[in-house]
Structure 1
């Protein structure tokens, strides 16, 4: 009897002890912030994302990026895609653009943004973008990242640039793609103005002028405020309101900056002008610092509200830095030592700054040279959020980089191939800009040009600027990589251009070897 009494007493103590712990979900579901910058280049920061600090790094003042890097993992070989909509659709779905076929930037329903060409006819790509339903022609329907998070207990907040579905389609509204809150997101990827005194591109105060006026911020029209600061304030207000929901939050803070028009952020512009910078570059640098101030304000809010210990921050740009037009100095050099910029298959168009802070998991500062791509955000964030056994209607190409964050190795030198697919014509001319498909395997990178059939081979470890085409010196490597690229593109039924003269599709990258 006495033995039974003690057994029951121990059992009650154990039950009482375990009942004092929070439920498992409360322990394992962190808050998550994705902080996306538009058109920010690999060199546009005082944080060096290379082995060397460059003169360009010294031009910019980004102390809050430095702070984030000191507390997390800095990725020196992180990639997006060459222009915005493909990258953003890949983040939302985990699919590579070759699979989701949103291969160029979207805007008007049923209207391609491809520029005309004298040799190529461009494919019938998914010009209407990402959709929550399968009834919209020329679009991809997929199970979105915020929808899965929403279904698994997250309060989902969208602030800033959306640019997923074309105007007049369900996908233009983030609320249809899994967000509980949408602030300032719509179909357009650009804007008329960053300035409140210009109503953020809307013609009249209190109105929304499509396509380039930023919607939903009418209370700031006419004020001398910058959009970057306004979006930060609105994001913080949304986080304040989220306290009442009593759920972990997912904040997708997607800045319109540093996209054109290059307009000065007057909080910071004067000092760059006084440094002797050209007008466009002084404006650009002030926009970069305004973005960094936003990051600092968000981090300060988290700390002041005891949220910093349970909030993951993922920082990235949606493509390489603009360099073909609108900038000061010589075009195609702003991302040097990388070649070219936005719109290009070369590294300047696709390699981007990336930092991840994960309190309790990552002890910063750490640097990872393993290569990752924006497609990887989808499975990585779901793993961070402990969303398990989820179902998607799409096949996911991305691979979780959580093992890297936990100090493990993800890629051996040749195990994983990264693919970029751009069978389109962006507009500006420049190095690496054109209809291409590209593959990276280890240090080797192969670029295939649909118009000419040319194959370029680079070794990025030795030649980060892609100035030496090694295709003729390494024919077996070219064949190996072209075969892998062609096999992947066929496996996802990727689009490809046709020749105007014959109406025949351009060959696959490996067809010259078969």
Structure 2
């Protein structure tokens, strides 16, 4: 099976990996994870579909285009979950949410802020026991392992890895040497320095809000956008690492494009034909791309870029159920739905990897990958030993990055036994898996099973569950086995008991 599409072929024939000729094992001296918040599959000008779409034409992201020209675009790249904390903690632990039980976003330690799912028969599903606190200082995080190996470990921007009042609320407790503006909450009060990065309702009021972005007081009362302030501080920290001749692990995670949707006014003139909200959203995307460009330039100027493995991705699908302009649930089209959903719009996200000398320039792959694959991939690429396997789910993508077939023992798995709280297609408690081109979804809220060929039908318009009963049964059995293997928790019926499991739901469907 051809995993790669070569663009253009002639150019790539002229590119040869020095490692392939010498037989040396490639090692990345530096590793950068550029994790954008809530960035949808269609939210950049780099096509991840088989063709360029109107959404790709809407956004101005020339620096993401540069990454694509110089690296690999993974068109079937996924987030580990349709919301933020589960994906972020999966990246930094290498374990899927089904295994960690970090299956929803965290806020306060030991406090469950999930909402019940109301079923058609009047009953309700409530969340099972889950890890309310996220990652902690006892976890073998990427940053801790890189730091122990002598890397300068820098976190910049949104963390959302541990709850307020837990050890994981501060990235410094998770192995980072430097923390720029990261803390427990998942969004900023404001993107404006003139607001002190505090919500509009708290301007001039004493005391703090949990949404106040920490550590950027030098930018308060100045006309600066949050993403820009974080970018300046990050580039300064990178230059310091270069001055100290340190190997670098950087987790750059802008708060954008998470709500509140607030325009960077200097770019509004680029979007005269969009409504107010969508124009503001487009400026947020463009500002993130400028931050990407500044980081690439800094790495280049310091002589680090040629030795850097650079990953660009998102923590979940693009926001579409609320808070956006125009019609809901279509902002990730042709994918169905968006953030919080079991459908592709909730979990398929941009993925671009640049690694000079290993990844061939201008290539595209349709091999499915998922966020927790990054844990073993980044460590192995840097020549850092992984901790003893204690149930890690990620797969090292080294073979894929060098143009070979990727061997994956287990299917991609998603498990979110919670209701996100906003109604929309596929937004309810669910589990799902993808094997090959087939994706099976089990909606725990109403016991529904659906099957799609997401390669031929990325919009999940044609449910194949009744048309292909043998494959539906096989994948339902596999889903049940994978959930059991990882110790996944099931939602509860309010008042006691559990709803139908996937096999019982399958039997009911087949009657």
Contact 1:205 1:222 in 2 (8 A): no
Q: Check if 1:122 corresponds to 2:127.
A: yes
Cα-Cα RMSD = 1.8
Q: Check if 1:87 corresponds to 2:87.
A: yes
What is the Cα deviation at residue 176 of structure 1? 0.7
Equivalence map 1:17-416=2 (5 Å)? 28-80=27-79, 81-118=81-118, 119-133=124-138, 142-201=139-198, 203=202, 209-272=208-271, 274=272, 276-388=273-385, 390-392=386-388, 394-411=390-407, 416=410
Counterpart of 1:136 in structure 2 is none
Bigger Rg over Cα:
1
1: CA distance, partners of 2:151 / 2:205:
32
2: CA distance, partners of 1:403 / 1:112:
40
Counterpart of 1:421 in structure 2 is 415
Contact 2:192 2:224 in 1 (8 A): yes
2: CA distance, partners of 1:367 / 1:87:
23
Contact 2:238 2:299 in 1 (8 A): no
Which protein, 1 or 2, shows the higher relative CO under an 8 Å CA cutoff with sep ≥ 6?
2
Moved more, 378-387 or 302-311: 302-311
Counterpart of 1:5 in structure 2 is none
Task: Provide, for residues 413-455 of structure 1, a one-character-per-residue CA deviation record: whole Å limited to 9, x for no partner.
Answer: xx64110000001111000100000011111111101122110
Task: Provide, for residues 255-306 of structure 1, a one-character-per-residue CA deviation record: whole Å limited to 9, x for no partner.
Answer: 100000000012212221x2x2100000000000000111111111122222
2: CA distance, partners of 1:351 / 1:243:
35
Contact 1:155 1:245 in 2 (8 A): no
Aligned length: 476
1:452 to 436, 446, 461: 446
Q: Check if 1:506 corresponds to 2:503.
A: no
What is the Cα deviation at residue 204 of structure 1? 6.2
Gaps of 5+ in 1: 1-23, 134-141
The 1:207–1:492 alpha-carbon spacing in structure 2 relative to 1, beyond 3 Å, is: farther
1:484 to 456, 475, 478: 478
Contact 1:199 1:205 in 2 (8 A): no
1:131 counterpart SS class? coil
The 1:308–1:102 alpha-carbon spacing in structure 2 relative to 1, beyond 3 Å, is: same
What is the Cα deviation at residue 29 of structure 1? 4.7
1: CA distance, partners of 2:45 / 2:28:
32
Contact 2:152 2:241 in 1 (8 A): yes
Task: Provide, for residues 128-172 of structure 1, a one-character-per-residue CA deviation record: whole Å limited to 9, x for no partner.
Answer: 111123xxxxxxxx3111111111121100111110111011100
2:298 counterpart SS class? helix
2:292 counterpart SS class? helix
1: CA distance, partners of 2:251 / 2:465:
41
**TM-score when scaled to structure 1?**
0.90
**TM-score when scaled to structure 2?**
0.90
Contact 1:60 1:289 in 2 (8 A): yes
The 1:314–1:207 alpha-carbon spacing in structure 2 relative to 1, beyond 3 Å, is: farther
2: CA distance, partners of 1:461 / 1:393:
32
Contact 1:485 1:510 in 2 (8 A): no
1:200 counterpart SS class? coil
2: CA distance, partners of 1:114 / 1:492:
22
Q: Check if 1:439 corresponds to 2:438.
A: no
